[in-house]
Amino acid sequence: DGIIITGDITGEEASVDDLIKLKDEIDKPILVGSGINKDNVNNYLKYCDGVIVGTSLKENNMTNNPVSKENVREFIKVVKNNF
């Protein structure tokens, strides 16, 4: 069991402040499930157990496009460089 937090609408970033409060209140894994990209992922990974990444890994950041190998490489590089 775990909890997924999201922004108010699809693709919107979750509140880091809400994430911090939630982490202090529960003893379950927490995933952030919307709005994650290479520019903000490390803000979240400090406080959660994982992230769900989708649109930011697609070509031109469009949901219906195929996954961009370059976007995936950049995302992984950012995460690896900060952990």
The domain limits of the chain are: 3-81
CATH topology of domain 3-81: TIM Barrel (3.20.20)
- CA distance linking residue 62 with residue 32, whole number of Å: 19
- CA distance linking residue 17 with residue 59, whole number of Å: 30
In this predicted model, what pLDDT tens digit does every residue of 30-58 receive, in sequence order?
999 999 999 999 999 999 999 999 999 99
Is the whole model's pTM more than 0.85, yes or no?
Answer: yes
